[in-house]
Amino acid sequence: MKNWKIILAILTANVVMMAAGYTMLIPFLPVYLMHELGVGPDAVKMWNGAIFSITFLIGGIMAPIWGKMADTKGKKMMAMRAGAGLAISYFLGGIVTSPEQMFGVRVIQGFAAGLWSVCLAIATSLVPMDKLGLSLGILQAGLTCGNVIGPLVGGSLATLFGMRTSFFVAGALLTIITVIFLFYIPEPPKQPVVVKESKPRQPLLQKPIIREALLYVAVVQMVILLIQPILTLYVGELNQGQGNLMFLSGLAFSLVGIASAITAPSWGRFGQEHGFYRSLCLATLFSGVLSFVVAIPNTLTPFFVVNFTYGLCSAGIQPSLSAVLASNTDPDQRGRIFGFMFSAQQFGSMVGPLFGGAIATFFPMRSLFFVAGALLLAISGAVYLRHGKEKPCVY
């Protein structure tokens, strides 16, 4: 068995490539539909919404199934399934000629999804429990780095060689990830399940602490997708039509990502030492307050500064939630629990843009930041009331 630090480093590299491959393509999908697949300006919103949503829908339905199979058939096998499936879908995305075919590709991606959740399941099964918070923080930093790198690489490839090249490069990255899992990542050892005859093990979704955490996961993802779809438009509104909008909106996304990558490991270490509920409470509290503050500036420079600060604080949310789920689950159930987590994220991703679009239709765009802040503060308050007096677990 390899040293857990080596495994964590390999998994982090895989996560960086996974996130970069995804974000190389997704921000530019509307442009791809119009310029390469012949979709007109009037129909692009409909096709873009359908093509986005179908992957979230199928991924959300399939995630618990893949998670259960990861526990019973092997986490490594499920990682290779997801990696190979995504690689094939990306290669197919580079050769499609119609929006209907692209819709089919996104259906395949929905069935292939789950690589991030199985990476979490493998990591939490192999790293020592007293390093859980730090390890999840490092993985989250890797995910964020990939999210920053992807749009920059994708934009450059599209400019120099055309958008189809980005699909082929993303497919190559996922192929590399699959090969790395095959040869370099061990299958976590199966541990015997001890079940007392007088008290059988409770199903995961019957545990209130698990249901609560999954609800937080869905709401946090909804908050993220409230803001992301309108961020480019909001940056354009603040900039009043001056300058390069694509560059400035990319900078807005990147600043949050860079800030998150800087502080995610520290948040994980803080949660390990002081309790994951405490880190979740503080991260959502600070992020909620800053969501209100970020709506105040009327010019770009202070908006970017507050946005960067928001990224420093919000980096603690996802590692804390992942650690709460992992620390309240037996090792042989990690595939299931992170499958449920991925499912909750997918459904949050579906609801967020719909909710945000409805609000933005009737109210100014900056009102979305107030709604996002209120939801984050609500999570912080609920966590404090339910778990504020709990002592951190010592492993």
DSSP codes of every residue in 175-238? HHHHHHHHHH-PPPPP-----BTTBPPPPGGG-HHHHHHHHHHHHHHHHHHHHHHHHHHHHHHH
Q: Which structural domains are found in the chain, ordered by start?
A: 4-187+203-387 (1.20.1250.20)
Question: What pLDDT shows up at residue 51?
Answer: 86
The closest of 324, 343, 325 to 334, measured between CA atoms, is 325
Give the span between the Cα atoms of 50 and 64, in whole angstroms: 23
Q: Which residues pair with 196 in a beta bridge?
A: 199
How many Cα neighbours within 13 Å face the side chain of 37?
A: 25
**How many angstroms separate the Cα of 274 from the Cα of each of 61, 280, 387?**
35, 11, 13
**How many angstroms separate the Cα of 361 from the Cα of each of 26, 61, 207, 231, 238?**
24, 29, 39, 15, 18
| Euclidean distance between the first and the last CA atom of the chain, given in angstroms as a whole number | 22
- Please list, residue by residue across 176-210, b when 16 or more beta carbons sit within 10 angstroms of its beta carbon and e when fewer do: bbbebbeeebeebeeeeeeeeeeeeeeebeeeeeb
Q: Is 299 exposed, middle or buried (0-12, 13-18, 19+ CB in 10 A)?
A: exposed
How many Cα neighbours within 13 Å face the side chain of 200?
A: 3
Question: Residue for token digits 């964020």?
Answer: 144
Cβ neighbours of residue 90 closer than 8 Å, sequence gap 6 or more: 21, 25, 167, 168, 170, 171, 174
pLDDT in single tens digits along all 395 residues of the chain: 568 999 999 999 999 999 999 988 887 788 888 889 998 888 887 887 788 788 888 998 999 999 999 999 999 999 999 999 999 999 999 999 999 999 999 999 999 999 999 999 999 988 998 888 889 999 999 998 998 888 888 888 888 898 899 999 999 999 999 999 999 999 988 765 555 444 566 788 889 999 999 999 999 999 988 887 777 778 888 887 666 766 777 778 788 888 988 999 999 999 999 999 999 999 999 999 999 999 999 888 999 999 999 999 999 999 999 999 999 998 888 899 999 998 999 889 888 888 887 887 788 888 999 999 999 999 999 999 999 877 665 44
Residue 192 phi/psi, 5° resolution?
-65, 140
Give the span between the Cα atoms of 98 and 47, in whole angstroms: 11
Residue 152 phi/psi, 5° resolution?
-65, -45
How many Cα neighbours within 13 Å face the side chain of 81?
A: 20
The pTM for the full model equals: 0.83
* CB atoms closer than 10 angstroms to residue 13: 16
Give the span between the Cα atoms of 228 and 235, in whole angstroms: 11
